[in-house]
């Protein structure tokens, strides 16, 4: 156990010194494994992981979902999503901020990335909110917070990574994220209402759209709805009826989603040969980065398991006679503290290999724990001092201080904490859909 704690401390130091998380975990895992066994065993373990990763058919889900998200971005669907949300909500006080959150959720459902959602929607929604005199704190906070939904509402890259790390069904993880994602949207809308109730000038009402305008706006997003139904409906089995008889594995769903997004972008005439090549290059670059991160995490996980940390934690919990829920609350407290310092992926990769064996040994469902981890990670995306979504938004906007954005997101991470409490207290909210899957 001592070797594991030294290894964790070494990874933390290297990450704080700006070393990429993949390299930090890989180096520490390799050296630690070598100390416990020998150099030959360590190099053999690393070589096996690299070869297995390259040959694993299940990992093809990663580049396919990334490809789908990039094609969707090229298709220019973010503007239509915002327009339809604005048509139904824009006339309310704080309605443009609410429309932004709903549009972020829709874009996240086919993009799968929080950072990409925040960066894209800031270019679409912020000019409109400024046009109607919205406070910068509310407008930027709604974009930063709405962007966090990208890692929960399926398809989610971070849920794929969790599923690969823990050998948990990616299909069930995707379906399990739907209800918590909807709760997150409703809670964020409540946060907007609370903000404008305290300060009506922060979010003036916009123009009301008539029924014909709403219908025109709704027709413009048929492609998004169809793509989401294709991917999630195929995973959940909603399309396994005559005459379709379609039921997808996660990899097949990713392939269908990527092909559908390509056809949508092609049909909208937003895709050129040069743009297609850029999408493919970006997909390859992002996939290579994620695979490196996964390999580093697996190397570190093998070292931690060999050093006996999970077994030591289980023994300590048994000796202390702590209830499973008490242990879970302690783990969540650690996540919230780490989220104030580390970015989301680093936190996930560092902690899951340590906590997952303990959590499953206590009887918690791995699908439920995956959703809880992602919800906590969402909170870390908008909490100071790291808050990656805040800094991405600051980089895009430029003329709004990070302090203003952080003040604006306070009601949003407060309702995120309330949602976390709700999901922990009532696990059925997470498991109701996965439990009905075939």
Give backbone dihedrals phi and psi of 238, rounded to 5 degrees, phi first: -70, -25
Per-position b or e across 49-81, b if 16+ CB within 10 A of its CB = beeeeeeeeebebbbbbbbbbbbbbbbbbbebb
Mean pLDDT of 184-190: 94
Burial status of residue 252 (CB atoms within 10 A of its CB: 0-12, 13-18, 19 or more): middle
Q: pLDDT per residue over 258-302, tens digit each? A: 888 888 888 877 788 888 898 899 888 888 888 888 888 889 888
Whether the CB-CB separation of 339 and 383 falls below 8 Å is answered with yes
Q: Looking at per-residue confidence, does 248 or 372 come out higher? A: 372
């972020």: which residue's tokens? 104
The alpha carbons of the chain give a radius of gyration, in whole angstroms, of: 22
The domain segmentation of the chain, as residue ranges, is 60-281
Mean pLDDT of 376-400: 79
C-alpha dihedral, 131 to 135 to 137 to 141, nearest 10° = -50
Mean pLDDT of 399-410: 86
* Window from 106-110, 200-204, 351-355, 418-422 with minimum mean pLDDT: 106-110
Per-position b or e across 258-282, b if 16+ CB within 10 A of its CB = bbbbbebbeeeeebeeeebeebeee
Taking 60 as the threshold, does the pLDDT of residue 438 lie above it?
no
Taking 90 as the threshold, does the pLDDT of residue 423 lie above it?
yes
Q: pLDDT per residue over 80-104, tens digit each? A: 777 888 888 888 888 889 988 988 8
**Tokens in use for 317?**
């919990």
pLDDT on residue 174: 87
Q: Looking at per-residue confidence, does 269 or 37 come out higher? A: 37
* Window from 83-97, 199-213, 221-235 with minimum mean pLDDT: 221-235
pLDDT on residue 31: 93
pLDDT on residue 86: 82
Taking 90 as the threshold, does the pLDDT of residue 425 lie above it?
yes
pLDDT on residue 82: 79
Instruction: Report in angstroms the alpha-carbon separations of 318 from 304, 311, 352, 377.
Output: 20, 11, 20, 28
Q: What share of the chain is helix, strand, coil (3-state, %, to 5)?
A: 80, 0, 20
Q: Looking at per-residue confidence, does 113 or 7 come out higher? A: 7
Taking 90 as the threshold, does the pLDDT of residue 364 lie above it?
yes
pLDDT on residue 176: 92
pLDDT on residue 420: 94
Write down the mean pLDDT value for the chain.
84
What is the rounded distance in angstroms from the CA atom of residue 68 to the CA atom of residue 265?
A: 10
What is the rounded distance in angstroms from the CA atom of residue 152 to the CA atom of residue 141?
A: 18
pLDDT band at 188 (very low <50, low <70, confident <90, very high): very high
pLDDT band at 391 (very low <50, low <70, confident <90, very high): confident
Percentage of the chain beyond pLDDT 70 is 95
Cβ atoms < 10 Å from Cβ of 337:
11
What is the rounded distance in angstroms from the CA atom of residue 411 to the CA atom of residue 191?
A: 6
Q: 323: which DSSP letter?
A: -
pLDDT on residue 242: 60
Taking 70 as the threshold, does the pLDDT of residue 239 lie above it?
no
- Describe the crossing of helices 402-425 and 388-397 by its angle, rounded to 10 degrees: 150
pLDDT on residue 390: 81
């Amino acid at each position: 156990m001592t070797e594991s704690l030294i290894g964790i401390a070494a990874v933390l130091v290297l990450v704080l010194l700006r070393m990429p998380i993949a390299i930090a975990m890989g180096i520490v895992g390799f050296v630690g494994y070598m100390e416990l066994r020998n150099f030959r065993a360590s190099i053999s373990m690393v070589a096996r992981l690299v070869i297995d990763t390259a040959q694993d058919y299940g990992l093809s889900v990663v580049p396919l979902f990334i490809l789908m998200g990039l094609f969707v971005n090229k298709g220019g669907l973010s503007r239509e999503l915002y327009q339809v949300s604005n048509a139904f909500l824009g006339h309310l006080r704080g309605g443009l901020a609410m429309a932004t959150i709903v549009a972020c959720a829709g874009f996240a459902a086919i993009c799968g990335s929080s950072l990409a959602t925040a960066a894209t929607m800031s270019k679409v929604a912020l000019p409109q909110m400024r046009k109607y005199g919205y406070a910068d704190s509310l407008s930027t906070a709604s974009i930063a917070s709405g962007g966090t939904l990208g890692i929960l509402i399926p398809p989610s890259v971070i849920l794929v990574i969790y599923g690969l790390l823990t050998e948990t069904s990616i299909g069930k993880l995707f379906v399990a994220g739907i209800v918590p994602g909807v709760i997150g949207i409703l809670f964020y809308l409540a946060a907007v209402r609370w903000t404008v109730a305290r300060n009506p000038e922060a979010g003036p009402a916009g123009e009301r759209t008539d029924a014909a305008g709403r219908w025109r706006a709704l027709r413009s997003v048929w492609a998004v709805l169809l793509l989401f139904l294709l991917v999630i409906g195929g995973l959940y089995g909603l399309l396994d009826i005559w005459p379709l008889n379609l039921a997808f594995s996660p990899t097949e769903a990713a392939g269908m989603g990527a092909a559908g997004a390509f056809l949508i972008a092609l049909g909208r005439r937003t895709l050129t040969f040069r743009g297609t090549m850029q999408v493919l290059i970006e997909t390859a670059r992002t996939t290579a980065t994620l695979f490196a991160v996964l390999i580093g995490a697996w190397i570190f996980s093998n070292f931690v398991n060999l050093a006996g940390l999970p077994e030591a934690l289980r023994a300590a919990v048994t000796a202390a006679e702590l209830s499973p829920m008490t242990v879970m609350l302690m783990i969540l407290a650690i996540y919230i503290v780490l989220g104030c310092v580390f970015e989301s992926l680093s936190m996930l990769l560092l902690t899951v290999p340590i906590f997952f064996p303990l959590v499953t040994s206590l009887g918690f469902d791995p699908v439920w724990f995956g959703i809880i981890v992602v919800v906590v990670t969402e909170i870390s995306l908008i909490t100071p001092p790291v808050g990656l979504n805040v800094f991405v938004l600051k980089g895009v906007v430029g003329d709004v201080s990070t302090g203003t954005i952080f003040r604006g997101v306070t009601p949003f991470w407060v309702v995120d904490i309330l949602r976390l409490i709700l999901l922990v207290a009532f696990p059925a909210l997470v498991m109701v859909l996965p439990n009905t899957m075939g």
